[in-house]
Amino acid sequence: MQRDAILPAGGRLDPATAQAAGCEIKALIQLGGETILERTIRALRESGRVRRIVVIGPAELQDHPACADADAVLPEAATGPDNIFLGVEHLAAQADAIDG
């Protein structure tokens, strides 16, 4: 059985860490030539257990290559719980559109 995944990706680094990492968003930290976000999406896809992946984060993620294999990238809401609700609502709306 496949499940959908919601990836909150809006966490920010403190200024000193951001300077050292070369980015302000935690999910975009590079590890071995890939971002944490790319690695996470790839691992979810390769598991065979995930149907749809929704990334929720700042505007910088909207067209970022790290999100290329996500099914949707949504702008972040005001709080972490709001981000999860946003992802659930998006997935439900997509399911309703498919089911008619």
Tens digit of pLDDT for each residue in 44-63? 999 999 999 999 999 999 99
Annotate 61-82 with b (16+ C-beta within 10 A) or e (fewer): beebebbeebbebbebbeeeee
In the predicted model, what is the mean pLDDT of residues 20-34? 96
| Mean local confidence (pLDDT), 72-78 | 96
- The whole-angstrom separation of Cα 55 and Cα 92 is 15
Q: Residue 92: pLDDT band by 50, 70, 90 thresholds?
A: very high
Checking if the pLDDT of 90 tops 70, the result is yes
| Percent above pLDDT 70 for the chain | 95
